Amino acid sequence: MELLLSNGNPFEESSKDLVTLDNKVCESAAAAASVLKVESMGQEQYNNFKKNVLDSHDTPLTAPIKRNNLMLFHEKKTRKKTAAKLRMQHFKRHAELYGKAFIVLESRSGNLEDFFCHESSPYPPALSCEGSLNSCTKSDLLFYILGNPKSGGISDSEEIVAPDLYDFIVIDGGALIHSLPGTTVQGKTFESYFDKVFCPRVQRDLKRSTRVDIVWDQYRALTIKGGTREKRGSGTRQRISGTAKVPRDWQAFLANEDNKTELFSFLSTALVTNGQFPDDKDVYITADDCVHHVGNSPPMDRCNHEEADTRVLVHLLHALQTASVGMVYTGDTCCRNPAE
């Protein structure tokens, strides 16, 4: 009974994931499929052995038995090709293509300029490398925005003094959980992480403001950000609940999109359900397209923005309807913190 209370009742698990009971780590889909078919596969191989070896003697008893290459509780690590190798592969393929096309062009007396007017690759080389979009540092644009006197931006020489109190604080939740690592409650549960780390941070921000907004990213399957997230890597999938233990490697845990999605949902629900805040304070926190609200101020409508960068602006606009001084907390290089 103590084990069920500490790790959760395994019979209440409704998903098709293969979950380790003690640490809630989810095995890969290939491992789950192997566990489902291992019994039927063994029975089929036994029947074939009995039929061909013991009954009909078509196969000698000394014949080797093939080993089953099942994906169980480990994943095969595949090395990704580096950008240099991808470019070299691209150049070799196109060198061969150009050589053949040039010979055909010369034999048919074609126009070389017309030939090079057509695309020779399914992906424009100026925008992508073998189907992966080229990336850049978005904060580099800030130099040109602030350097233009007609832009009306803030100059580097102008000193910005941050006030001690704010009317509202809008927080990028992804940056927040990276700054609040789970290693501070290592060995404890996600419920302890909420009670001792996450909720106290929100309560501390409410002491210097009357409203706190927490905005999460959304991770969708078909999105232009998929290539960027793939480059960042992916960690081990782990099921998240109040009784599940916080992983040791917090950054590797956050590298998995499903982990972050489930963590965001858990923290949002726990903050609205268990968070205790003064009556004159307001807390807004997103959950997918919805915005949960604790307090007496007007609620917010649904918002389908995928990126927290743009969703922060929606919350900022809503807060400015009744307030004037605020701060945006974000760790993204494409945003500028007004309190800097």
Flag whether 295 is in a domain. Answer: yes
What are the pLDDT digits (tens) for 244-273?
Answer: 888 888 888 888 888 899 999 999 999 999
> End of a domain among 34, 63, 78?
78
Asked if 283 and 277 count as a contact pair (C-beta separation under 8 A), the reply is: yes
Mean pLDDT of all residues in 122-136: 72
The total number of structural domains in the chain stands at 3
- Among 114, 133, 152, the domain-final residue is 133
- Provide the β-strand partners of residue 172: 215
302 shares a domain with 244: yes
295 and 209 in a common domain: yes
Do 44 and 124 belong to one domain? no
- CA 321, distance to chain mean position in Å, is 32
How far apart are alpha carbons 43 and 31 in whole angstroms? 19
User: How far is it, in rounded angstroms, from Cα 223 to Cα 36?
Assistant: 32
Higher pLDDT, 91 or 77: 91
What mean pLDDT is predicted for residues 275-290?
Answer: 90
Same domain, 287 and 176: yes
Here the contacts of 222-226 (C-beta below 8 Å, separation 24 or greater) are 223/306, 224/133, 225/306, 225/307
Q: Is the pLDDT of residue 233 over 80?
A: no
Average the pLDDT over 2-31 and give the result.
66
For residues 154 and 228, membership in a common domain is answered with yes
Residue 337 in any domain: the answer is no
Predicted local distance difference test score (pLDDT) of residue 336: 43
Give the angle 150-151-153 at the CA atoms, nearest 5°. Answer: 125
Q: What's residue 340's pLDDT? A: 38
Please compute the mean of the pLDDT values over residues 23-41 and round it to a whole number: 78
**Res. 339: pLDDT tops 50:** no
Do 166 and 89 fall within a single domain? Answer: no
Q: How many CA atoms lie within 13 A of 177 on its CB side?
A: 26
Mean pLDDT of the chain: 79
Residue type present at position 319: A
Lowest mean pLDDT among 6-10, 163-167, 205-209: 6-10
Mean local confidence (pLDDT), 1-22: 63
| Residues whose CB falls within 8 Å of the CB of residue 198, separated by 6 or more in sequence, listed in order | 177, 180, 267, 271
Q: Clarify whether residues 322 and 253 are in a common domain.
A: yes
Of 110-119, 173-182, 279-288, highest mean pLDDT:
279-288
Torsion of Cα atoms, 82 then 69 then 247 then 188, to 10°: 180
Lowest mean pLDDT across 23-32, 54-63, 199-208, 321-330: 23-32
Q: Which helix (H) or strand (E) holds 103?
A: helix 83-107
Q: Taking residues 67-90, what's their average pLDDT?
A: 71
Distance between CA atoms of 278 and 19, rounded to whole angstroms? 39
Residue 125 lies in a domain: yes
State whether 169 and 26 are in the same domain. no
Assess whether pLDDT exceeds 90 at residue 204: yes
Q: Is residue 338 part of a domain?
A: no
Q: Assess whether pLDDT exceeds 60 at residue 331.
A: yes
More confident residue, 102 or 43: 43
Question: Shortest CA distance to 35 belongs to which of 56, 12, 17, 61?
Answer: 17
Q: What is the pLDDT of residue 334?
A: 43
Tokens linked to 254: 């956050």
Query: Per-residue pLDDT averaged across 52-79, rounded?
Result: 79
Is 3 inside any structural domain? no
Span 12-38, mean pLDDT? Answer: 72
Tell me which of 98, 133, 168 is where a domain ends.
133
- CA Rg, the chain, in Å? 28
Q: 9 pLDDT exceeds 90? A: no
Contacts of 7 (CB under 8 A, 6+ apart): 21, 22, 243
Query: Taking a C-beta distance cutoff of 8 angstroms, is the pair 327, 169 a contact?
Result: yes
Tell me how far the alpha carbon of residue 264 is from its chain's centroid. Answer: 11
Residue 73 shares a structural domain with residue 89: no
Range of the domain at 70: 14-78
